[in-house]
Amino acid sequence: SITAYGCPYTLKVCEWLGGQLKGRRLDQAACGGPRDWASANEVPEERLTRLLVIEDALLAALRNASQGGYNGA
């Protein structure tokens, strides 16, 4: 079990994205962007900037994985 603290909208979108990405191959990882995520999770417009940080982290993780940085652990 993981305990996380932070903006509830940020945590909700991270959990939702994890569910969206689970089981997908890298070439199937596209799942919209921050505005799509905000809409799907009822995130207020004023919190959208927090989702840009998630987008940056997701893109970096996908880039790393596509370059062989993911070892399956």
7-55, pLDDT tens digit by residue?
A: 999 999 999 999 999 999 888 888 899 999 999 999 999 999 999 999 9
Place of tokens 């959990």: 15
In this prediction, residue 4 carries a pLDDT of: 87
With a CB cutoff of 8 Å and minimum separation 6, the contacts of 49 are none
* Other C-beta atoms lying within 10 Å of the C-beta of residue 35: 12
In this prediction, residue 70 carries a pLDDT of: 62
Report helix, strand or coil for 15. helix
In this prediction, residue 71 carries a pLDDT of: 59
With a CB cutoff of 8 Å and minimum separation 6, the contacts of 20 are 31
DSSP 47: G
In this prediction, residue 72 carries a pLDDT of: 56
